[in-house]
Amino acid sequence: MEQRVTAVRHARRTTERLSAFSDGVFAVLITVLVLDLRPPELPTFKSLLSLWPTWLSYAVSYLFIALVWTNHHHLMRYATEATAHLMWFNFAHLFSVSLLPLSTAWMAVSELAPQDGDLDSVFATLVRLRAGGLVIAPDQFLYARSGQIALHAVRHALPTIFQYRESAAAGGLMSYGGNAVDAFRLVGVYTGRTSRARSPPIYRCINPRRSSW
């Protein structure tokens, strides 16, 4: 009798039920994503193309679920026992993935448009703090919104300096930084030297030779 009870307890601790439950959650999430797809009102190819934000968000979300499920499948192979910690961590993981349909719907509704409300609040705070100037970091997110940042800076009479010349040409006060073309040229030089060398060479750090104003 004791051996039978021990065997039953051991069977309850296997990860098969946990994996099956997780697979069911992933299947439901994919089904919910498909149910959010709606055909266009007009039976034309142009109307179908107008729904590209919805199709793009669905494709990205489907790919994300596929990657998460693949990683989950491989990780569960290393689990030998469904402990309490593993189950709660798995529930937390599934909870984060379950929010994916909401983010997918938000992406489709927003049409991936930039949100300008954050810039308004940022510049309003800078004016309230009586900031004497603004230095924009060389960030891709900020670089893509150089025109909007320059417009807000001019509107609030706030001197702004950028790293790239294109940002200053968009309306900023000035720019100072390394020349992007020269930096890419140095990358090509280093790549050529490395590919021709028999052993990995050691390079000293070289500063950009040209700067952009």
The model's pLDDT over 98-155, given as tens digits with 9 standing for 90+, comes to: 888 887 777 766 655 555 557 778 888 888 888 888 888 777 777 777 778 888 888 8
Beta bridge partners of 212: 177
Show Cβ contacts of residue 148 under 8 Å, excluding neighbours closer than 6 positions.
114, 116, 119
The helix (H) or strand (E) run that includes residue 160 is strand 160-162
Which two three-digit tokens encode residue 84? 């309490």
pLDDT score for 91: 92
pLDDT score for 23: 92
**With 70 as the cut, is the pLDDT of residue 13 above it?**
yes
Secondary structure letter of residue 208 according to DSSP = -
Tell me the C-alpha distance between 39 and 101, whole Å: 18
Which two three-digit tokens encode residue 156? 């609030």
